[in-house]
Structure 1
Amino acid sequence: MDWLQIIILALIQGLTEFLPISSSAHLILPAQLLGWQDQGNSFDVALHVGTLTAVVVYFRHEVMAMTQSFFRSGFSKNMERDAKLAWAVIWGTVPVGLVGLIFSAFDIVDLYLRSIPVIATTTIVFALLLWWIEKRAVARRDEYDIGIKDIMVVGIAQAMALVPGTSRSGATMMAGLWLGLSRSAAARFSFLLSIPVIVLSGGLTTLKLIQQPQAVHWGELFAGFSIAAVSAFTCIHFFLKLIDKIGMMPFVWYRLALGAVLLTIIFI
């Protein structure tokens, strides 16, 4: 890969992983639209580790509190609220873990879903769903005030986001808003949910990498990791600062515009 491709792909991963616009779609599109050679599994792992590092560092206090509380009261009847949130993250990851294993076993995404028509469809459909929910959402709760049914709804939404163009963060935030979470609470829970998901997806990609003998270009990997980490950290910071003010509509309009461009490309 040349340095322009490294920088652009790392910025795309860092800036779109935590926005409701689908990082997977944006990583697929440059190769299909610009004719770039596929970046390979090792570079994908580096980008995922970069975004994982960003979210763990940003939420380090919350992660530490959840971990300590989990081992202190996570198996008692009177759990602390941080232990309950830790369990929410664990249970919310189960659906995407199960579906992800099935998709990986049959290579469903690579064989059937990594295409511009699929991305265009999911981009537009989920934009309209996000629009509908945003207009009807009533913020009543935060991420500490969710039950098992709420967790399962968000978890199933996250599993649906395995389809490129859906957006993991978009699907989980949309589900959170529908359940009555505030925008910032839905975003925080979505970002915390991303930690085990990125670990799982990065682990699966690493296993594939181990099975494929490839030359490792450490300079490219470190550059991708660094750029993805810094851009993701910046994105999380400003997104949480602004989301209660701007709402979800800017992302709805962006997705609709992107979907329209993709449809144009398909039919030209």
Structure 2
Amino acid sequence: MWELFQAIVLGTIQGLTEFLPISSSAHLRIYPEMFGWGDPGAAFTAVVQIGTELAVLIYFRKDIWRIATAWLKSLVKPEYRGTLDARMGWFIIIGSLPIVILGIALKDIIENEFRSLWVIGVTLIVLGIVLGLADKFSSNSKQIKQINVRDAILMGVAQACALIPGVSRSGATISMGRVLGYEREAATRYAFLLAIPAVVGAGVFQLKEIPGGDNPYGWTPTIVATIVSFIVGYAAIAWLLRYVSTRSYTPFVIYRVALGALVLILLGTRVLTA
């Protein structure tokens, strides 16, 4: 029962933080350590993220279906190749390549050195400042229909930085989108769509680690956490898209910097160990 309680808490944390630009993987590393539960591991983190990505698939099901069908038709019918949906399919594929390649190449480092709380504390602060500056000085002039190959590659590279816990997949992609001049809602929506192949792929890739590996939980707690993350994550998507249509990312920036500073202080005073 204690492991199931932990699973519910961790699933809730994952659902709340996956889509906010504050790094869900950092929170799944920091808070269990604060609670005295230890590191749930990269495998548990990756698999539980499937729950939140399922929320994305359902929430954006009409967009995803439209993009997927247009892309498939464009492979055989030239008249579809210039449509936004067909191009968006290619942009998501191209933008996913950096995180896939680096994720495979750096697997051991991701599961070990990158999970250091020192690294996470620093990245929370640094990328929080980057997000704040990108949001403040963005030209705010582009809509999602104006995305091109260059922008797709750059946002894909930014997303790959989230292999380091504390960066935030959505935060890095949104930051690059804002630097490139995209409106907040456009950058946020594209960040959600771009994350689908990477998160689902990482979760499936790590399924084999659930019975053992670096995962301290078994199948049942992991499944419970995944279901909880789906339910909470679905609500978080709707809230965030409404929020960013009228407000800035400043509260998230402040939270990131404050949490990162707290982690470094706790490490420096040896309340936490890396």
Q: Distance in 1 between matches of 2:198 and 2:154?
A: 16
Deviates more, 1:123-132 or 1:214-223: 214-223
Deviates more, 1:48-57 or 1:170-179: 48-57
Q: Distance in 2 between matches of 1:249 and 1:187?
A: 15
Q: Distance in 1 between matches of 2:36 and 2:24?
A: 19
Give 2:89's match in structure 1, choosing from 76, 86, 91: 86
**Structure 2 residue aligned with 1:158:** 159
Contact 1:82–1:144 (CA under 8 A) maintained in structure 2? no
Contact 1:41–1:206 (CA under 8 A) maintained in structure 2? no
Give the CA deviation at 1:141: 1.6
- Helix, strand or coil: the match of 2:14? helix
List per-residue Cα deviations over 1:156-190 (Å, max 9, x = no partner).
10111111100010000000111111000000000
Q: Distance in 1 between matches of 2:5 and 2:211?
A: 27
Find out whether 1:189 has 2:190 as its counterpart. Answer: yes
**Structure 1 residue aligned with 2:266:** 265
Give the CA deviation at 1:211: 7.7
Q: Distance in 2 between matches of 1:45 and 1:136?
A: 33
Deviates more, 1:184-193 or 1:254-263: 254-263
TM-score (norm. length: structure 2)? 0.90
Contact 1:137–1:180 (CA under 8 A) maintained in structure 2? yes
Equivalent residues, number = 266
Q: Distance in 2 between matches of 1:46 and 1:32?
A: 19
Contact 1:97–1:197 (CA under 8 A) maintained in structure 2? yes
Give the CA deviation at 1:40: 5.7
1:224–1:111 distance in 2 versus 1, CA, 3 Å: closer
Contact 2:44–2:215 (CA under 8 A) maintained in structure 1? no
Letter in 2 for 1:192: L
Find out whether 1:64 has 2:75 as its counterpart. Answer: no
Find out whether 1:113 has 2:109 as its counterpart. Answer: no
Q: Distance in 1 between matches of 2:42 and 2:103?
A: 17
Contact 1:65–1:82 (CA under 8 A) maintained in structure 2? yes
Give the CA deviation at 1:5: 1.1
Find out whether 1:9 has 2:10 as its counterpart. Answer: yes
**Structure 2 residue aligned with 1:132:** 133
- Helix, strand or coil: the match of 1:176? helix
Letter in 2 for 1:68: T
Contact 2:28–2:45 (CA under 8 A) maintained in structure 1? no
Contact 2:132–2:253 (CA under 8 A) maintained in structure 1? yes
Identity %: 35
Q: Distance in 1 between matches of 2:224 and 2:25?
A: 19
Q: Distance in 2 between matches of 1:195 and 1:209?
A: 21
- Helix, strand or coil: the match of 2:143? coil
For structure 1, list consecutive stretches of 5 or more residues without a partner in the other structure.
none
Contact 2:44–2:217 (CA under 8 A) maintained in structure 1? no
**Structure 2 residue aligned with 1:48:** 49
Letter in 2 for 1:221: T
Contact 1:88–1:148 (CA under 8 A) maintained in structure 2? yes
List per-residue Cα deviations over 1:72-112 (Å, max 9, x = no partner).
125637421101111111100001111101111xx002221
1:79–1:210 distance in 2 versus 1, CA, 3 Å: farther
- Helix, strand or coil: the match of 2:105? helix
Give the CA deviation at 1:29: 1.1
Find out whether 1:199 has 2:200 as its counterpart. Answer: yes
